[in-house]
Structure 1
């Protein structure tokens, strides 16, 4: 019964992730000055929407990765760490979706594909052992932090609302990487890191348009 209870919980979470019904525990970040600046031009609005669609797709992947790693490990120490990170990523998922809606845009049509692929990768990472799983978590969050820094540089100057969201996401991702390192993460081999980067690049370039 315990196994089936856990299976139902994970299936429920997967459905909520893919249907956009995940709730945020924290309010959506606002610009420091409390204003949203001027309305975006059509061109800037499209660019902001495409960038936020990429970030929303990334959060779909984050949910799948953490859920898979959580299911794969038997460590009573690692499970709470993964669960806490996944909860913060749920905030990110909700925030990016809300911002997409505000921009009059849609999520990626390939969300189920992103979720399934990321879940498979997360499961393999989890089965490689706890220190390797933590190393995967640390490297993922390091690459995500770099990605968000690039996204912030590409955002339209007047899109203060999206910028506030991405800034908080960047801080959270840095915290997840630090927590993984502190818990005993190993450094992944360079070929693995390069493969992770290539897979992320493929996803971001595709989700920008589709």
Structure 2
């Protein structure tokens, strides 16, 4: 008989299906910093590694930050149905490989997505039951611009494009399960962690709970 639960430090742990946690925001609102902190706090949380056609930046690692591919290879993956979602952003394509996500969920682990509203909509169509979505807003328009300029990663022209795109991105906030204003990083990370904890405990995700309750009956 397959074990329905495990004992860890004298506590019962019911087997569950993993979830897909999406963080979206305009560039500069802080989702990357939040993601890093969240991964440090949650050893059972995996980061979804996207495939992209954009050039590799200094300091980025193949297979850790992205899988960097040519336009031709990306198209082959699209044609073969290898992506859960994909989108074009600033003249480059980004996609989420299907196989590693499905394997992670079936093992009872959670996976974190750093994607935009277009990718979130695509995931909602293919995997809504596994999805938890959070949109991160900046505390002000001026602060968003300041953060983008202070990063010194992009040219002035790219910063202007990101600011223009931010207006459209923020118009989709109401499509998300949760919306947080990132005024203080520690507070926002705490709120995201609380959401993750609550969603993990949902009855629908504890796949062996019904069988476990039946075992409790005399």
User: Per the shorter chain, which TM-score range?
Assistant: under 0.3
Larger radius of gyration: 2
More helix by share: 1
More strand by share: 2
TM-score, normalised to structure 2, is 0.26
TM-score, normalised to structure 1, is 0.27
